[in-house]
Amino acid sequence: MKATTSKEAARILIVEDDFDIKQILGVYLKHAGFEVLSASDGSEAIQVVPEFCPDLIVLDLMMQPVDGWAVLDWLNAAQPESQPPPLSSIPVLVLTALNNLGEQVRGFEKGAIEYMTKPTQPRMIVERIRTILALSAEQRAMLHRKRIDEQRETLERVSAPQADEFVYE
C-alpha cells in the first residue's frame, strides 16, 4: 500500500457491479479529492489491485462471476513478491445490500474494517473513508477487532431465546 502525502490524493478502488452506484460514488469521491479507479467484479479487482495499489477498497459482496467474499479471501491470502506491504493491510469498506448480522460478522472476520449497507448516502461513505484513512495501522487494527467483537455480541444477543419468546421443542 502506498503512503499518501498532502499533495498526493489517496487511491480508492470501487468494486461494484451496479453501474449507477459505481458512477455516483466515483463522482463523489473524485469531488472529495480522491484518485478513483473502479472494477465491475471481483476478478477485475484482483487484476488491478497490485498495479493500482489502492489506499482503500470499497467492495460490494454480491457480484458475478467473482464475488466480494472471494476478493476478501484473496486479499488475505495473496502476497505478490513485488508488493512489499501485505495486501491484507489495505482497508476494505464493504458496501452491500446484505444486511444480515451474520453476514456482517463474516465480513469483519474476513478483514473488512467497515460494513455499510445499501442504500447509503454517498456523503456518508466519503466521510467513513476519510475517517478510516486518517487512522494509523494500529488504530485500524483496534477498530477492526472492536467491530468484530461488537457484531458477535449483537449476534449472540439477538440469537439467544428471550424470556417472552415461545420456543418449540
- What type of residue sits at position 32? A
Number of domains into which the chain is organized: 1
**Residue 73 in domain:** yes
DSSP labels, 110-121: TT-SEEEESS--
Instruction: Please write the tens of the pLDDT for every residue from 19-65.
Output: 999 999 999 999 999 999 999 999 999 999 999 999 999 999 999 99
For residue 42, CA distances in Å to 29, 46, 85, 147 come to 20, 6, 21, 24
Residue numbers of the domain that contains 44: 11-159
**Residue 165 in domain:** no
Q: pTM of the entire structure?
A: 0.83
In CATH, what number is assigned to the domain containing residue 117? 3.40.50.2300
119 touches 89 (CB < 8 A): no
Compute the distance between CA of residue 60 and CA of residue 68 in angstroms, rounded to an integer: 6
Range in 15-29, 39-53, 94-108, 148-162 with the lowest mean pLDDT: 148-162
**Residue 167 in domain:** no
- Please count the other Cβ atoms lying within 10 Å of the Cβ belonging to residue 86: 13
**Residue 147 in domain:** yes
**Residue 33 in domain:** yes
Task: Report pLDDT for 4.
Answer: 44
Q: What residues form DSSP beta bridges with 94?
A: 59, 115
Task: Report pLDDT for 88.
Answer: 79
Q: What residues form DSSP beta bridges with 51?
A: none
Mean pLDDT computed over every residue of the chain: 87
